[in-house]
Amino acid sequence: MQENFLVSVPHFKPTRNTVLTIIALIISVAIVIPLIGFRNEMAIFVVFILAIIIFMLLVNANSNNMPNAIPSTVYPVPPHLGLNGISLNNLVAGVDNVKY
């Protein structure tokens, strides 16, 4: 009787977010240990919160300007509005042409 056992190490390819998470944890531990050390539970909480903040900074620290590249949603004017942007149903006859 032949039995084939295959033991293998799972392939782990770190993504950008996992690398940034590890970097954020290392930076936050390097900041917290000299200041308050790991004497109590508060230090672990501080490391966790600081790692989240550093991770958010690292994720958003690039030169990509995509949020500002979104096209304007008010140009051209939607078809149910007049040229001045006021709904044609809301105009009262004669109010628009009043001369003072």
Q: Which residues have CB under 8 Å from 55's CB, separation 6+?
A: 20, 21, 24
Q: Report the pLDDT averaged over residues 78-96.
A: 55
Residue 72 φ/ψ region, left for φ over 0, alpha for ψ in the -120 to 50 degree band, beta for the rest:
beta
Instruction: Express each pLDDT in 8-43 by its tens digit.
Output: 888 888 888 899 999 999 999 999 999 888 888 889
Closest C-alpha to 57, from 31, 20, 15: 20
Dihedral sign, Cα of residue 34, residue 36, residue 39, residue 40: negative
Q: Which residue has the tokens 């550093």?
A: 54
∠ Cα 30 39 33 (to 5°): 10
Instruction: Express each pLDDT in 46-85 by its tens digit.
Output: 999 999 999 999 988 876 666 666 666 655 555 555 555 5
Dihedral sign, Cα of residue 55, residue 57, residue 63, residue 64: positive
Q: What is the pTM of this model?
A: 0.54
Q: Report the pLDDT averaged over residues 1-7.
A: 76
Q: How confident is the model at residue 93 (pLDDT cuts 50, 70, 90)?
A: low
